[in-house]
């Protein structure tokens, strides 16, 4: 049967910060805003929309028979929480040169891990929360220190005691496992394939090392307050290559998960 247009299936919301997964007929080619999107041999793919993604974007699919389809995408805007903080010391605002150098080296190492391409399709799994509990920080929020905007927060924070076990949200390969980075402390990156990766920050213990293959639900680490953290929590981040996305876009709501975990009183 010849391939017809409109043979694209999407999973996810078209909004700022979201990871959207999809399928096309095997052998199809995809571009997003003119940039090539990697597609698995079976036609599976992932695309992302950053924190301030433009409202109008264009997806182009070239089907195996040569038919081309242009699919305009409307990306919904989100409102982000902004907090203003005054009276912060210069030392906290700007670390000393040695600390800045160390932080730059950490960032380089992290970028390299996220640039790796791993040919697996775990990114298509139904992701689970790596830990459950009270959400204490959300994606996209930003603090303004002494009238100077800080970097937005690019993860979701779950507050739990030090030592709480963190599990793999999906299958993957460990591409980074470092016990003590300057800002993020114990840091781990799991590559789920085709540019999709999870990052865990502020860990107190790391059970796995770079190169290890892990499965969904496997124990990977323990929550901590390492690096520049004010208290024990897991900071979970989601990336599509270097693009920072919201992990909440690929898991059930925390409320629904916690409700399901509660014992029912008969």
Q: Assess if residue 50 is contained within a domain.
A: yes
Any domain includes 30: yes
The verdict on 53 and 86 lying in the same domain is no
CA 58 to chain centre: 22
* Distance from chain centroid for Cα 81: 19
- Answer yes or no: is 131 within a domain: yes
Q: How far is CA 129 from the centre of its chain?
A: 12
Q: Is 54 inside a domain boundary?
A: yes
* Whether residues 94 and 161 fall in one domain: yes
133 and 66 in a common domain? no
How far apart are alpha carbons 76 and 57 in whole angstroms?
11
In a domain, 3, yes or no: no
Give the H or E element holding residue 186: strand 185-193
Asked if 101 and 129 sit in the same domain, the reply is: yes
Say whether both 136 and 202 belong to one domain. Answer: yes
Rounded-to-integer distance, Cα 239 and Cα 204, Å: 22
CATH number of the domain within which 64 lies: 2.60.40
Residue 2 maps to a domain: no
Backbone phi, then psi, for 73, in 5-degree steps? -115, 135
> CB under 8 Å to 264, separation ≥6 — which residues?
none
Domain finish residue from 41, 57, 74 = 74
Strands, sheet with 29-32, edge to edge from the N-terminal-most edge strand: 35-37, 29-32, 56-62, 68-74
- Distance between CA atoms of 200 and 227, rounded to whole angstroms? 12
Question: Are 213 and 116 found together in one domain?
Answer: yes
Within-domain flag for 4 = no
Q: Is the dihedral of CA 13, 15, 20, 24 positive or negative?
A: positive
13 and 97, same domain (yes or no): no
CA distance 148 to 237: 24
- Say if residue 110 is in the same domain as residue 197: yes
Same domain (yes/no): 187, 101:
yes
**Structural domain boundaries enclosing 39:** 9-74
Q: Are residues 18 and 36 in the same domain?
A: yes
Any domain includes 1: no
Three-class secondary structure of residue 249 per DSSP: helix
State which of 26, 49, 74 marks the end of a domain: 74
Domain final position from 28, 48, 74: 74
Q: Identify any residues that bridge with 167 across adjacent strands, giving them in sequence order.
A: 219
E strand or H helix at 151: none
CA 213, chain centre distance (Å): 19
The rounded average pLDDT for each run of 10 residues, N- to C-terminus, in the chain (266 residues) is: 73 98 98 98 98 98 96 97 72 76 94 94 99 96 83 96 99 98 97 98 98 98 95 98 98 96 59
* Domain total in the chain: 2
**In this structure, are 215 and 94 located in the same domain?**
yes
The CATH number linked to 207 is 2.70.70.10
Do residues 88 and 52 share a domain?
no
């Amino acid at each position: 049967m010849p391939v017809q247009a409109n043979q694209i299936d999407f999973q996810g919301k078209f909004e700022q910060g979201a990871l959207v997964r999809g399928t096309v007929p095997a052998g199809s080619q995809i571009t997003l805003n003119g940039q090539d999107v990697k597609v698995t041999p079976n036609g599976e793919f992932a695309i992302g929309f950053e924190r301030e993604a433009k409202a109008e974007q264009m997806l182009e699919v070239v089907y195996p028979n040569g038919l081309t389809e242009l699919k305009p995408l409307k990306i919904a805007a989100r409102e982000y929480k902004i907090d203003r903080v005054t009276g912060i010391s210069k030392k906290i605002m700007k670390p000393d040169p040695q600390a800045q150098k160390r932080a730059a080296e950490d960032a380089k190492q992290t970028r390299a891990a996220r640039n790796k391409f791993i040919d697996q399709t775990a990114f298509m799994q139904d992701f689970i929360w790596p830990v459950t509990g009270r959400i204490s920080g959300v994606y996209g929020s930003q603090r303004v220190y002494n009238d100077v905007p800080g970097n937005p927060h690019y993860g979701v924070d779950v507050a739990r005691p030090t030592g709480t076990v963190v599990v793999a949200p999906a299958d993957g390969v460990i591409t980074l496992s470092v016990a003590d980075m300057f800002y993020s402390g114990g840091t781990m990156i799991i590559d789920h394939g085709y540019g999709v990766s999870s990052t865990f920050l502020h860990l107190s213990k790391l059970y796995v090392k770079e190169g290890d293959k892990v499965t969904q639900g496997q124990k990977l680490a323990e929550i901590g307050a390492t690096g520049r953290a004010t208290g024990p929590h897991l900071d979970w981040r989601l990336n599509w290559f270097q693009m920072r996305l919201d992990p909440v876009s690929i898991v059930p709501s925390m409320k629904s998960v916690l409700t399901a975990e509660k014992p029912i009183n008969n």
